[in-house]
C-alpha cells in the first residue's frame, strides 16, 4: 500500500519488482560511474557517483522492505542495454513516424469508447489506447533525440 494525498492505494507486486530492478540497475550504474570518475581523477564526479549510489541503495532497501524482488526478466534486459548505434536507425525513425501517424486514430477510438478528455493532456486526449501509444512514442523519441520538449513534447 502506498499513501498519497490522504488516500491509500495498493501497489501490485510486479510494479514493486519492476521498480526494484531499476533501483538496482541505478545503484550498479552509480558504482560504475564512481570507478570511471576515479580513473579520470574527477573528485566531483566521484562524490556525485557515490551520492547517486547511496541514494539508490536506500531506495533498494526501502523496496525490499515492501517485499520487492528483482525481476529476472527485467534484470536480463538491463544487463544487456541497447547499444547507442542501434537507438537511431532508419527503421527506428520509420517506426516512430508510423506510431505518430496512428496516434489520431487511437484518439478517435478512445473517444468513441468514452475514454478521452476534451483536451490534450500529456501528449494525447485519449485515456486508453492513445495513452499507451503516446508512452511508446515518447520512449522512441527519447532514444532518437534525447530528452527535451522540442521532440518529445515533454512526454518523457
Domain boundaries, the chain: 13-145
Whole-model pTM? 0.51
User: Within 10 Å of residue 43's Cβ, how many Cβ atoms?
Assistant: 10
Q: What confidence category does residue 109 fall into, taking pLDDT thresholds of 50, 70 and 90?
A: very high
**Is residue 155 predicted with pLDDT exceeding 80?**
no
**Furthest CA-CA distance within the chain:** 59
Tens digit of pLDDT for each residue in 82-95? 778 888 999 999 99
Tens digit of pLDDT for each residue in 33-71? 888 888 888 999 889 989 988 988 899 888 888 888 776
pLDDT of residue 30: 84
Residues of the chain above pLDDT 70, percent: 83
Buried b (16+ CB within 10 A) or exposed e, 127-154: bbbbbebbeebbebbbbbeeeeeeebbe
Q: What confidence category does residue 99 fall into, taking pLDDT thresholds of 50, 70 and 90?
A: very high
Q: What confidence category does residue 106 fall into, taking pLDDT thresholds of 50, 70 and 90?
A: very high
Query: Poorest-confidence range of 56-60, 73-77, 108-112?
Result: 73-77
Supply the mean pLDDT for the chain: 83
Region for 148 from its dihedrals, namely left if φ exceeds 0, alpha if ψ lies in -120 to 50, beta otherwise: left
Amino acid at each position: 500500500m502506498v499513501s498519497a494525498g490522504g488516500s491509500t492505494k495498493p501497489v501490485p507486486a510486479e510494479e514493486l519488482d519492476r521498480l526494484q530492478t531499476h533501483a538496482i540497475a541505478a545503484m550498479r550504474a552509480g558504482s560504475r560511474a564512481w570507478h570511471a570518475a576515479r580513473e579520470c581523477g574527477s573528485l566531483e564526479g566521484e562524490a556525485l557517483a557515490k551520492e547517486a549510489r547511496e541514494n539508490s541503495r536506500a531506495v533498494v532497501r526501502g523496496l525490499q522492505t515492501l517485499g520487492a524482488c528483482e525481476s529476472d526478466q527485467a534484470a536480463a534486459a538491463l544487463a544487456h542495454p541497447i547499444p547507442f548505434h542501434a537507438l537511431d536507425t532508419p527503421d527506428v525513425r520509420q517506426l516512430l513516424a508510423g506510431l505518430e501517424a496512428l496516434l489520431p486514430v487511437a484518439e478517435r477510438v478512445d473517444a468513441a469508447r468514452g475514454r478521452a478528455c476534451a483536451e490534450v493532456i500529456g501528449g494525447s486526449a485519449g485515456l486508453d489506447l492513445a495513452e499507451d501509444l503516446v508512452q511508446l512514442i515518447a520512449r522512441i523519441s527519447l532514444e532518437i533525440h534525447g530528452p527535451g520538449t522540442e521532440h518529445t513534447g515533454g512526454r518523457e
